[in-house]
Amino acid sequence: MSTASGTPWPASAVRDDDGALVVGGVTAPALAAEHGTPAYVLDEGEFRARARAYQGAFTDAFAAIGAGVDVYYAGKALLTVAVARWAREEGLRVDTASGGELAVALRAGVPGAELGLHGNNKSDAELQAALDNGVGRIIVDSLGEIDRLADLAEARGVVAPVMVRVTTGVHAGGHEFISTAHEDQKFGLSVNAGPDGGDSPAVLALLRILARPSLKLLGIHSHIGSQILDSAGFGEAARTVLRLRAHLGVRTGVLVDEVDLGGGYGIAYLPQDQEIDPRKVAHEVAQAVAHACQELGTAVPRISIEPGRAIVGPAGITVYTVGTVKPVLVTADDNSTFTRLYVSVDGGMSDNIRPALYGAAYHAEIANRRSEAPLALVRVVGKHCESGDIVVHELMLPGDVQPGDLLAVAATGAYGRSMASNYNLLTRPPVVAVHDGASRVLLRRETVDDLLALDLG
Ligand code: LLP
């Protein structure tokens, strides 16, 4: 097990004398014995180290151009009370995207002022909760929301702090980013002119906010995509947002103080992947911001970012128990045949929907022992009633993998538990934190009684 950065495992991952996987000082067999499987295992030290790495990289890079930075942990990737506390203890704020995420962050003791609330379709109840808890920034996503929020704030006699989510035409993900004139998706307000060639939806939103005394315009927000491994898109989006900011400044005399560049920093899922380097991307974005502001003749704004996956993704693994192992003779396109070993685990698409939803690739290893057996071509599948219930599409594993073995899948910390379901009425696995040789349950395993309690008959 390599611990070099760029592998998908937490830096603490090693093998003990029996060849068992150890994370955060706790062996996979010990975790399975104490907490059962499947279980999400979260390395607290890795989470904290990553939070510090992003905080440090962006703070340093922007200090060099005279700007302050706030790092918001994007709770949608995984949010529990303990996780929100870790983020806060490492100096991060928390970005929420629903009333539920907001409630968990508040329960963790994160002050409202350090929270953001996102959403393209926030309910009145969510907006009210944000106002009542003094949420520091409500990122508005439509003209209608601006009116609703202004009315709610006015009725309460408060001033709501808002940012406008804009779409810059930069879409990024993987190694590519493309600029498009039109954005065919539900988020944000475009910076491009409307069909009549008049003001863009983004400008209309900004003007509408300035016209409402119950709203305070903090700044402009842009999020360009997720799992981005090429840093160029971030600078490109920053330039577009800064142009919009300067335009508003000339037009209204209001040069907003803040620009949020969203999340999306990509991680390694496979051993050959190289994650984005926070120091490199922070430096490049800071330089792009500095140059753009110089060209535009505007002061450099305070910058915020919202990494989710890059903080929690590599800190999490999933430990499963192997059940059915079935060799299947497969006929290839050229009519040759080969054997694929189907290895079924005790979870599947209900605890990790990403392979089925995005075709996401993962890496897995036998976690309870060492094996010198020749490698076999394996597909790791779950226990759901669906042939697309795949955990790892293609993998070489020791051919003696057998029922009762533990299998650990790497880099499942982000968007695993947070997108988990009860399909086939499976109970969602626990989230178990490991640190310094000890484990503790952050979210307990659901039980069949939990499921029955929801069903009113
Ligand atoms: N900020 C905003 C406004 C976002 O919409 C997102 C993600 C983030 C921050 C955090 O992005 P991150 O740093 O985690 O990439 N379920 C998908 C990812 C959806 C991300 C949606 N927005 C997945 O499993 O890959």
Phi-psi map region of 339: left, alpha, beta (phi>0 left; psi -120 to 50 alpha): beta
Lookup: tokens for 158: 């408060």
pTM: 0.96
Torsion 412-260-294-55 (CA) sign? negative
Closest residue CA from atom 5 of ligand 1: 223
- Label residue 6 by pLDDT band (50, 70, 90): low
List of residues 6+ apart from 45 with CB closer than 8 A: 10, 11, 12, 24, 435, 436
Which residue lies with its CA nearest to atom 6 of ligand 1?
Answer: 263
> pLDDT digits over 347-404, tens only?
999 999 999 999 999 999 999 999 999 999 999 999 999 999 999 999 999 999 999 9
Coil, helix or strand at residue 433: strand
Tens-place pLDDT, residues 187-235 = 999 999 887 889 999 999 999 999 999 999 999 999 999 999 999 999 9
Q: What b/e string do you get for 335-348 counting C-beta neighbours within 10 Å, with b at 16 or more?
A: eeeeeebebbbbbb
3-state secondary structure of 134: coil
DSSP state of 333: T
How close is the Cα of 16 to the center of ligand 1, in Å?
35
Average pLDDT for residues 92-98, to the nearest whole number? 98
With residue 293 as reference, give the H or E element that holds it: helix 278-296
- In the reported structure, the alpha carbon of residue 308 is separated from the centroid of ligand 1 by a whole-number distance in angstroms of 7
Say how many Å lie between the CA of residue 264 and the centre of ligand 1: 6
Of 6 and 93, the structure prediction assigns the larger pLDDT to 93
Kindly report, residue by residue over 419-451, the tens digit of the pLDDT: 999 999 999 999 999 999 999 999 999 999 999
Tell me if 433 CB under 6 Å of ligand 1.
Answer: no
Alpha-carbon distance of 419 to 414, in angstroms, equals 9
Give the DSSP letter string of 208-237: HHHT-TTEEEEEEE---EEEE--THHHHHH
The whole-angstrom separation of Cα 24 and Cα 439 is: 8
Q: Is 307 in the pocket of ligand 1 (CB under 6 A)?
A: yes
| pLDDT averaged over every residue in the chain | 95
CA distances in angstroms from 23 to 31, 165, 367, 395, listed in the order given = 10, 39, 10, 21
User: CB neighbours of 318 closer than 8 A, spacing ≥ 6?
Assistant: 38, 39, 40, 41, 347, 351, 352, 408, 409, 412, 416, 429
Supply the residue whose CA is at minimum distance from atom 22 of ligand 1.
Answer: 226
Per-residue pLDDT reduced to its tens digit, 380-396:
999 999 999 999 999 99
Taking the CA of residue 118 as reference, the ligand 1 atom at the shortest distance is 3
What's the confidence (pLDDT) of residue 3?
A: 42
- Residue 169: its pLDDT value, please? 87
Q: In the chain, what's the furthest Cα-to-Cα distance?
A: 74
* CA distances to 11, 70, 264, 302 from 90, in Å: 18, 12, 20, 19
Residues 6 or more apart whose Cβ sits within 8 Å of residue 157 = none
Ligand 1: centre distance to CA 95 (Å): 11
What is the atom index within ligand 1 of the atom nearest the CA of 187?
Answer: 5
Tell me: the pLDDT tens digits for 108-166? 999 999 999 999 999 999 999 999 999 999 999 999 999 999 999 999 999 999 999 99
Check pocket membership of 306 for ligand 1, CB cut-off 6 A: yes
Q: Is 385 a catalytic residue?
A: yes
In the set 329, 332, 385, 453, the catalytic residue is 385
Could you give the percent of the chain with pLDDT greater than 90? 93
Strand pairing partners for 14? Answer: 22
